[in-house]
A and B are shown apart, each in its own frame.
Chain A
């Protein structure tokens, strides 16, 4: 089975901290994504990547950056965490058939 693993299920960080969310997939997928999920807003795309060292902005990239140094790993970085970045973050990877596989999510609270 495809596995997408997010390094933390729950995180609590202070305002202004630099935060790293890590995601690893084990199926050699080319495409990886970071979404943010908020009640009533569904999933919104933050960044995605089609290949190593390649990244593209999604719909809400402000306040975030990403890194993809290896094919299996896609990291989301909050440069200076703010309370409005409190949310559930979901990582996904896709096959060439577009079907997406999701990690368990990281619930981030910024205080």
Chain B
């Protein structure tokens, strides 16, 4: 079955530290992969996306993600976290079964310590 797994429900990092949020997917074809961020009480905002080509993609707010087909992973990274990065992060697979449907992970809530 198609699925997206975010194994970390909560992550706490200190401001200025590096960050990696994990995402693993199960999908038969080449996936369209996304990371979204949700600030408290808000909708989701696209951070970055991978469709094809270079497996390291850059996004907004200094985030990047690397697609690793062999590991079925699409981990999100940031070299230096800012307090404003505290939010919930969702990994998603899009274009499921040739449609415009998405499968979302259950999210990782990031807390940033000052």
Indicate, yes or no, whether A interacts with B: yes
Question: Which of B14-22, B53-61, B79-87, B93-101 faces chain A?
Answer: B93-101
CB-based contact B41/A105 at 8 Å: yes
CB-based contact A43/B9 at 8 Å: no
Which one of B32, B45, B95, B105 lies within 8 Å of A102 (CB-CB)?
B45
Which one of A31, A43, A97, A101 lies within 8 Å of B90 (CB-CB)?
A43
CB-based contact B44/A102 at 8 Å: yes
- Cβ distance B49 to chain A, nearest Cβ, rounded Å: 6
- Cβ distance B77 to chain A, nearest Cβ, rounded Å: 21
Indicate if B67 sits at the interface (CB-CB under 8 A).
Answer: no
**Total count of chain B residues near the partner, CB < 8 A:** 22
CB-based contact A4/B43 at 8 Å: yes
Q: Which residue of B lies closest to A98 (CB)?
A: B94
Indicate if B27 sits at the interface (CB-CB under 8 A).
Answer: no
CB-based contact A42/B42 at 8 Å: no
Which one of B46, B49, B95, B101 lies within 8 Å of A48 (CB-CB)?
B101
- Cβ distance A99 to chain B, nearest Cβ, rounded Å: 6
Cross-chain pairs A/B with CB under 8 angstroms, 19 sampled: A33-B102, A40-B9, A41-B106, A42-B104, A42-B105, A42-B106, A42-B107, A43-B44, A43-B104, A48-B100, A48-B101, A90-B43, A94-B100, A99-B34, A99-B46, A99-B94, A100-B34, A100-B46, A102-B44
